[in-house]
Amino acid sequence: MKSIIRNTYKYLAPIAIIGIFLFHSYSVQSKLEKKEKQTYITIKELSELAAKTYGVEPTVLDKTVITFIDWILPVSFINKNESLKLLADHKKEILSESK
């Protein structure tokens, strides 16, 4: 009897955890679709902007990890205008330090 219960929990726990993650990502994504997505920036967009600022191309592994994180935690972090302003300020700091 104990082995039956143990085997049940052995398979049931991972399925429940995966189900919770899928439900969470679906609910957050549906909330994001209700908002105006154009005023927010995702992790993927922010990393692409940062890569363009530094003049480098992200590797395939970086793109894969970022896409996976965006899928699991599809949360828009900050306003696009604010992020562009932050990136511009950061670029100015780098240029002023190099001089």
User: What does the block give as tokens for 33?
Assistant: 């679709």
Highest averaged pLDDT of the listed ranges 27-31, 48-52, 61-65, 93-97: 61-65
User: What does the block give as tokens for 12?
Assistant: 């049931």
Domain total of the chain = 1
Report how far residue 29's alpha carbon sits from residue 72's, in angstroms, rounded to the nearest whole number.
Answer: 10
> Three-state DSSP class for 59?
coil
pLDDT tens, residue by residue, 32-85: 666 555 556 667 777 777 777 778 887 788 888 877 777 766 555 555 566 667
User: What does the block give as tokens for 26?
Assistant: 């679906």
Domain that holds residue 87: 2-98
Count of C-beta atoms within a 10 Å radius of residue 46: 19
- Cut 0.85: pTM above it: no
Q: Scanning the structure block, which residue is given the tokens 């890569």?
A: 51
pLDDT at 48: 77
